[in-house]
Amino acid sequence: MNLNKYIGDRKFYRTVLKVSVPMMIQNGITNFVNLLDNIMVGSLSMEAMSGVSIVNQFIFVFNLMIFGAISAAGIFTAQYHGIGNREGERDTFRFKMIINVVAGILGIAVFALFDDMLISGFLHEGSAEGDLTQALAHGKEYLGIILIGLLPYSVSQAYASTMRETGETFMPMIASIVAVATNFILNLVLIFGLLGLPALGVSGAAIATTVSRYAELAVLILWGHSHTQKCGFLVGAFRSLAIPRHLVGQITVKGFPLMANEFFWSLSVTMRNQCYSVHGLDVVAAQNISSTIFNVFNVVYMSLGVSVSIIVGNLLGAGKLEEARDSDRKLIAFSTACGVLIGMLMAVTSPLFPRIYEATDAARSLATYMMIVSAITMPFCSYANAAYFTLRSGGKVSVTLLFDSVFMWVIVMPLAFGLSLARNAVDIRTMYAVCSATEMLKALFGYILLRRGTWVRQLVTAEGGMARRENNSK
């Protein structure tokens, strides 16, 4: 094996780190503060932590819907930036704004109408600990307030994603830091009633999160529109909402599968967690603890995955197809290696984190077990994540749908559902390990798809049209 094919030079890693480190810092701070928030809410009661964590699983579906809605436009934004087509960047930004506002309004309506039914689906008698009625009440209390922040979140993602795709990764990071700092400070004040204010508990956590969404959006709008030399796509962006019909058609063709993929994938993750929850409230609490900690550790490979779409997308847009192929191979190797190292660190430290939480001994023990299993599968998650963004960078949206959502619904969900029906014979630890092991199969599937090489495509031209140039050689 020629290792030089998988290892880049200093210039290559400088480029990668320039793109990825701001996102790592941004996501790392966000997830670390989420961890602190989680601990603060958990200090109220296990029911409060469980109710909030259930609602956050539905917010997770919404967030990925927004991500999917802007992803197709983002493919074109990155490639337009690669060839210096400023008008194309502006049109894709307008598309994101329109689709995100519509998605935000729809999300608010769905959650407001079906809050009771959605939350109740995760509450099952399965252990002696925990009051399900209280968990439901806390969940509804939290959701009722958090809805106010969905629309500003949707708009901020249109700004932040376009900035990143056009080379400005620093300010989205700063906006995120402002948001998480606002959230953390207000959590301290409002949850526990500091500075003479009343202790609002779960409502305080929801208010803090909502205010932080508006703070993030304010930073992005104020900075972006006052620095149009760096955010050229904002020059005249709102003089008209008109978007060339051919571009709308192209983005829609690419966008519907991506949006469907993010929706069905996130829904499958939520439904898989619902299958876990049939074992009782302890499992809901343990899953909340382990997933929150995992999100702190996975920021490295998640950020590197986004870097794949940006770096490779820019190279494909510029017509540098072989360079894109070479850079992608090295990026995937780097991401996987980071997954191995971070996974080892997570496994070693996994017994420490659950001790911080106000939870039952059973929930803490189960959370530690889940973290160790997740640490073992992290290298496979890293590879699969990089493979997903590689396929997406070349516009292979139908393949990403097959790779992500179809895999979850055809392989993982039947497995999780079947094991949940056999809960008297199969305990939660075995169930969690078996479902997590499917990440190895997904990584193998990703390897096969990448070997085909059909993702190496230039989608746009300097004039804004669709390029027909492809490279399908292996």
H/E/C letters for each residue in 162-192? HHHHCCCCHHHHHHHHHHHHHHHHHHHHHHH
470 Rama class: left (phi>0) / alpha (psi -120 to 50) / beta:
beta
pLDDT at res. 359: 74
At residue 469, the pLDDT reads 34
Residue 468 is predicted with a pLDDT of 34
Dihedrals phi, psi of 460, to nearest 5 degrees: -125, 165
Angstrom distance (rounded) from CA 189 to CA 42 = 16
Average pLDDT value for residue range 322-344: 91
Kind plus residue range of the DSSP H or E element containing 100: helix 86-113
Nearest-CA neighbor of 408 among 251, 254, 275?
275
Angle at 123 between CA 120 and CA 129, to 5 degrees: 145
> Using 50, 70 and 90 to split pLDDT, how confident is the model at 128?
very low
Confidence label for 473 from pLDDT (cuts 50, 70 and 90): very low
Lowest mean pLDDT among 212-226, 299-313, 328-342: 299-313
Say what the pLDDT of residue 221 is.
96
The CA distances from residue 464 to 81, 208, 221, 471, in Å, are 11, 42, 26, 20
Q: Which residue has the tokens 């300097």?
A: 462
- Tell me the mean pLDDT in the region 203-224: 94
Name the H helices within 227-298: 245-277, 281-297
Local confidence band at 464 (pLDDT 50, 70, 90 cut-offs): very low
Q: What's the rounded mean pLDDT across residues 17-36?
A: 78
pLDDT at 458: 61
Which of 101, 119, 17 has its CA nearest to residue 59?
A: 119
Range 418-423 average pLDDT: 88
Residue with structure tokens 């819907």? Answer: 65
Q: What is the pLDDT of residue 369?
A: 96
pLDDT at 459: 58
In the predicted model, is pLDDT for residue 360 greater than 70?
yes
Averaged pLDDT for residues 5-13: 83
In a domain, residue 195? The reply is: yes
Top-ranked range on mean pLDDT: pick from 52-56, 59-63, 392-396, 410-414: 410-414
Q: Taking 90 as the threshold, does the pLDDT of residue 431 lie above it?
A: yes
- CA dist list (Å): 242 to 89, 95, 230, 236: 13, 9, 23, 11
Least confident of 96-110, 149-163, 286-300: 286-300
**CA 289 to CA 293: how far, in whole Å?**
6
Give me the pLDDT at residue 9, please: 80
Which pair of structure tokens corresponds to residue 351? 């017994």
Give the residue-averaged pLDDT of 185-197: 91
Place of tokens 């804004």: 464
The pLDDT of residue 465? 46
* pLDDT range class, residue 65, cuts 50, 70, 90: confident
**The two structure tokens encoding residue 113:** 């109408």
For residue 102, which phi and psi values (nearest 5 degrees)? Answer: -60, -45
Task: Tell me, rounded to whole angstroms, the distance of Cα 51 from its chain centroid.
Answer: 21
What pTM does this model have? Answer: 0.72
User: Has residue 135 got a pLDDT over 90?
Assistant: no
> What gap in Å lies between CA 139 and CA 53, rounded to an integer?
8
Nearest in space to 31 (alpha carbons), one of 192, 176, 186, 211: 176
Q: What's the rounded Cα separation, in Å, for the pair 423 and 386?
A: 34
How far, in Å, CA of 349 to CA of 347, rounded? 6
Closest CA relative to residue 275, chosen from 147, 126, 407, 390: 126
Domain hosting residue 400, numbered range? 3-452
Is residue 458 domain-resident? no
Give me the half-sphere count of Cα atoms (radius 13 Å) on the Cβ side of residue 266: 18
Asked, for residue 467, whether it belongs to a domain, the answer is no
Mean pLDDT of the chain: 85
3-state SS assignment for residue 454: coil
Query: Which tokens is 4 given?
Result: 């030089």
| pLDDT surpassing 70 at residue 1 | no
390 vs 258, more confident: 390
| In-domain check, residue 469 | no
Phi, psi (rounded to 5 degrees) for 470: -135, 160
- Is the residue at 378 inside a domain? yes
Number of structural domains found in the chain: 1
Q: Is the dihedral of CA 351, 355, 357, 359 positive or negative?
A: positive
Rounded Cα distance between 41 and 190, Å, is 11
Q: How far apart are CA 457 and CA 471, in angstroms?
A: 6
Does 459 reside within a domain? no
Q: What length is written for the chain?
A: 474
The answer to whether position 38 is within a domain reads: yes
Furthest-apart CA atoms within the chain: distance in Å:
68
Distance between CA atoms of residues 77 and 417, nearest Å:
39
Q: What angle do CA 86, 91, 94 make, to 5 degrees?
A: 130
User: Minimal CA–CA distance to 175: which of 190, 155, 205?
Assistant: 155
465 belongs to a structural domain? no
Contacts of residue 406, defined as CB under 8 A and 6 or more positions apart, other chains included, come to none
d(CA 213, CA 56): 15
